[in-house]
């Protein structure tokens, strides 16, 4: 794949009024989600749930791509059509989570570094053959006493850059995700400082590894106070801090930025995105790559009757896609909520 094609895919991922749905939960993570609503976690129930999401009517009106798990990219609909074909036939780009998750960072208690670089070149080439157009790698940055260390930030940014370079070599657009966690009692100013330091380090390291930014997407966390912080931030405060941080750190050549919901409520994730876009124009599109904030209400309804409630659950998915698609344009209003 040519450099120009990477840029075309990256731009399509953040097309006007569209975002990414993240359905890349590992089997252990989706088991927790299923357990919470009383669904037995088997390969078939996981397949059926992902089919429900990916075959939602008119999903591509507001969804440009979906991040899949290794199991999911190999699965098919009940009638035998590969999920990747269903997606591409309906104008949705298949993506794939390729990291192996965070592991303790030796010498730095409480901090982690994401692993998965071993064998990644071969895995990326296989995923490209299976239809993947983009990939995702998540780094985890925690805030706490004497955290994060510069070593933690540097180690995670180095892994993100090596991953991104390998993706582009394989003709796959890398989505780089340095998530600053909401866990803790830190205030919004502390989150701003950590996010700024992380993004500065990330883009410096991407440059050092010859990663082509025009063929790269940033998946960013919003600048938020910790969930245990006594001082809550308004929608305007979060949007203002996030935009200010991004403008100070993210090169304008990047095709776009998508946000993770990161434990926010469905409503908060949508409101924050909408407010940021109302502050535009920005150097890059600001869109979404939500997981729980797109799925949670639909999963709860589907769990009550996993055969009879498929269509009703899909209506919820379509509604959440439309709400967030409008927020990506700065045109969301409470009237859109179902």
Could you tell me if 201 and 161 are in contact, meaning their C-beta atoms sit under 8 angstroms apart? no
Q: What is the pLDDT of residue 2?
A: 74
Q: What is the pLDDT of residue 337?
A: 62
Query: Per the domain annotation, does 231 fall within a domain?
Result: yes
Q: Which residues are catalytic?
A: 177, 219
pLDDT at 338 over 70: no
pLDDT at 87 over 60: yes
H or E stretch at 70: helix 70-73
Within the chain, strands assigned E span: 19-23, 63-68, 93-97, 102-104, 112-114, 134-141, 173-180, 217-220, 257-259, 286-290
Confidence of residue 335 (pLDDT cuts 50, 70, 90): confident
Q: What is the pLDDT of residue 27?
A: 94
Q: What is the pLDDT of residue 272?
A: 97
How does pLDDT run across 284-313, given as a tens digit for each residue? 999 999 998 899 999 999 999 999 999 999
Closest by alpha carbon to 159, among 96, 101, 200, 219?
Answer: 101
* 8-state DSSP, 147: B
Task: Check which CATH number belongs to the domain holding 278 and give it.
Answer: 3.20.20.70
Question: What does each C-alpha distance from 315 to 80, 211, 265, 337 come to in angstroms?
Answer: 23, 39, 19, 12
Q: Label residue 145 left, alpha or beta by phi (over 0 means left) and psi (-120 to 50 means alpha).
A: beta
Paired tokens of 234: 């308004």
- Residue 55 contacts by C-beta under 8 Å, 6 or more apart in sequence? 77, 86, 314
Contacts 24+ apart (CB under 8 A), 101-107: 101/26, 102/139, 102/140, 105/151, 105/152, 105/155, 107/151
- Residue 260 CA to residue 275 CA, distance in Å, equals 15
Query: Per the domain annotation, does 338 fall within a domain?
Result: no
Question: What does each C-alpha distance from 171 to 92, 124, 181, 278 come to in angstroms?
Answer: 17, 9, 30, 34
pLDDT at 262 over 90: no
Q: Label residue 264 left, alpha or beta by phi (over 0 means left) and psi (-120 to 50 means alpha).
A: beta
pLDDT at 1 over 80: no
How does pLDDT run across 204-253, given as a tens digit for each residue? 999 999 999 999 999 999 999 999 999 999 999 999 999 999 999 999 99
Q: What is the pLDDT of residue 263?
A: 85
Number of domains the chain is built from: 1
Question: What does each C-alpha distance from 175 to 149, 164, 211, 218, 297 come to in angstroms?
Answer: 24, 8, 12, 6, 26
Query: Per the domain annotation, does 239 fall within a domain?
Result: yes
- Residue 274 CA to residue 288 CA, distance in Å, equals 10
Q: pTM of the prediction?
A: 0.95
CA dihedral of residues 192, 105, 220, 100 (deg, nearest 10):
-170
Paired tokens of 24: 């890349």
Closest by alpha carbon to 224, among 265, 284, 278, 257?
Answer: 265
How does pLDDT run across 37-63, given as a tens digit for each residue? 999 999 999 999 999 999 999 999 999
Mean residue pLDDT of the chain comes to: 96
- Residue 212 CA to residue 164 CA, distance in Å, equals 9
Question: What does each C-alpha distance from 76 to 8, 47, 87, 215 come to in angstroms?
Answer: 27, 8, 11, 29
H or E stretch at 52: helix 43-54
Q: What is the pLDDT of residue 194?
A: 98
How does pLDDT run across 95-126, given as a tens digit for each residue? 999 999 999 999 999 999 999 999 999 999 99
Q: Which range (2-11, 43-52, 148-157) has the least confidence?
A: 2-11
Could you tell me if 160 and 202 are in contact, meaning their C-beta atoms sit under 8 angstroms apart? yes
Query: Per the domain annotation, does 129 fall within a domain?
Result: yes
Closest by alpha carbon to 96, among 117, 60, 72?
Answer: 72
Domain that holds residue 300: 3-329
């Amino acid at each position: 794949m040519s450099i120009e094609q990477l840029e075309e895919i990256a731009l399509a991922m953040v097309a006007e009024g569209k975002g990414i749905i993240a359905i890349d939960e590992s089997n252990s993570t989706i088991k927790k989600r299923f357990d919470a609503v009383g669904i037995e976690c088997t390969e078939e129930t996981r397949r059926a749930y992902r089919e429900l999401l990916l075959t939602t009517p008119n999903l591509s009106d507001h969804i440009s791509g979906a991040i899949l798990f290794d199991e999911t990219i190999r699965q098919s609909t009940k009638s035998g059509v590969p999920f990747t074909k269903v997606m591409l036939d309906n104008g949705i780009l298949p993506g794939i989570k390729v990291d192996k998750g965070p592991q303790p960072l030796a010498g730095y208690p409480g901090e982690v570094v994401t692993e998965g670089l071993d064998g990644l070149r071969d895995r990326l080439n296989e995923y490209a053959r299976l239809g993947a157009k983009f990939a995702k790698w998540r780094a985890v940055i925690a805030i706490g006493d004497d955290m994060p260390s510069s070593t933690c930030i540097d180690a995670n940014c180095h892994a993100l850059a090596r991953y991104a370079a390998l993706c582009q070599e394989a003709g796959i657009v890398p989505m780089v995700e340095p998530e600053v966690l909401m866990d803790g009692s830190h205030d919004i100013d502390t989150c701003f400082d950590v996010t700024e330091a992380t993004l500065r380090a990330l883009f410096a390291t991407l440059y050092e590894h010859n990663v082509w930014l025009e063929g790269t997407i940033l998946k960013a966390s919003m600048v938020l106070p910790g969930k245990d912080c006594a001082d809550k931030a308004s929608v305007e405060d979060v949007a203002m801090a996030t935009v200010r941080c991004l403008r100070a750190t993210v090169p304008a050549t990047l095709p776009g930025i998508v946000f993770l919901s990161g434990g926010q409520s469905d409503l908060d994730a949508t409101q924050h995105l909408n407010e940021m876009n109302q502050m535009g124009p920005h150097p890059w599109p600001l869109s979404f790559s939500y997981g729980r904030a797109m799925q949670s209400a639909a999963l709860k309804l589907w769990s009550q009757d996993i055969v009879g409630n498929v269509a009703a659950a899909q209506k919820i998915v379509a509604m959440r896609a439309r709400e967030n698609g409008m927020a990506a344009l700065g045109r969301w209003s409470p009237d859109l909520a179902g």
